[in-house]
Structure 1
Amino acid sequence: MPDTIRRHSPYGGILHEVVEHAGTLYFGGIVSEDLSLDATGQAADVMRQLGILLADNGSDPSRVLMATAYVTDLADKAGFNKAWTDFFAEADLPARATIGVADLGPGVKLELVVTAARTR
């Protein structure tokens, strides 16, 4: 059913980690599971989690359409770019925006929002 909206993985009573509509997957803000890591480590952890979320929801990195990254220090963008290019093949790089914000919560240096197409 193309008009069906499916919501997966409720989180804390405030959101669903994944919402699907018409073969498009919308992933809510992904943050590092280990907030003791520096910005580069958090970026690598966020990309690791994205890989799992994509696989668990019938997609893969080549199907990512758009991402918005929120970072608390734009000086950390180079570390994020490294994790980004380690994760995506050059031919599969999606559209992306990186936005500097004042605060994402205690210890959070990066939050990633992603839209992807399902493969199956």
Structure 2
Amino acid sequence: MSIQRSGTNKRLSKLVVHRGLAYLAGQVADDLNGSLESQTRETLAKIDALLTEAGTDKTRILSAQIWLADMAEAAKMNAVWESWMPEGHAPARATVGAPLASSRHLVEIKVVAAVD
């Protein structure tokens, strides 16, 4: 079985596809001046693009891991997530509070999706 990698550098690949699954590395916003909501929207748009590259979409996400710099802000992130995720397609998901790579990063999201 082949392994497809995209956005690869010495540290990571942004996308790995193998045996019908697309694994995305943790995605963060590029614009770190925005609010949690704007960073979440940008991060989800990056996820959409990577899923499209893999030949799948958000309705095929099996699991999601979300890290928030401040769990007190979870409701704001959830509102953006819920408007993005189509009804009836919610994946298994975990959300935790954690220090992120930069104090300006407010959210990081990693997903695994089915590819058929």
Displacement of 1:31 in angstroms is 0.1
Runs in 1 of length 4+ with deviation above 3 angstroms?
none
Tell me the distance in 1 between the aligned counterparts of 2:48 and 2:61.
10
| Structure 2 equivalent of residue 39 of structure 1 | 36
Tell me the distance in 2 between the aligned counterparts of 1:15 and 1:93.
27
Q: The residue matched to 1:15 in structure 2 has which SS?
A: coil
In structure 1, list runs of 5 or more residues that go unmatched. Answer: none
8 Å Cα contact 1:72-1:104 kept in structure 2: no
Q: Paired residue for 2:92, among 92, 95, 101?
A: 95
Please identify, of 48-57 and 109-118, the stretch whose mean Cα deviation from structure 2 is larger. Answer: 48-57
Please identify, of 55-64 and 99-108, the stretch whose mean Cα deviation from structure 2 is larger. Answer: 99-108
Tell me the distance in 2 between the aligned counterparts of 1:51 and 1:6.
18
TM-score by length of 2: 0.93
- Which structure: greater strand fraction? 1
Answering whether residue 24 of structure 2 is matched by residue 27 of structure 1, we say: yes
How is 1:51-70 mapped onto 2 (pairs within 5 angstroms)?
51-70=48-67
Displacement of 1:78 in angstroms is 1.0
Figure out how many residues of one structure are paired with residues of the other and give that number. 116
Displacement of 1:110 in angstroms is 0.7
| Structure 1 equivalent of residue 7 of structure 2 | 9
Displacement of 1:27 in angstroms is 0.1
| Structure 2 equivalent of residue 50 of structure 1 | 47
8 Å Cα contact 2:56-2:114 kept in structure 1: yes
1:1-20 per-residue CA deviation (whole Å, 9 max, x = no partner) reads xx322211114x31000111
Displacement of 1:75 in angstroms is 1.2
Q: CA RMSD in A?
A: 1.2
1:69-116 per-residue CA deviation (whole Å, 9 max, x = no partner) reads 011100111111111111111211111000101333241111111000
8 Å Cα contact 1:40-1:76 kept in structure 2: no
8 Å Cα contact 2:17-2:54 kept in structure 1: no
8 Å Cα contact 2:65-2:94 kept in structure 1: yes
| % identical equivalent positions | 30
Q: Paired residue for 2:115, among 88, 113, 118?
A: 118
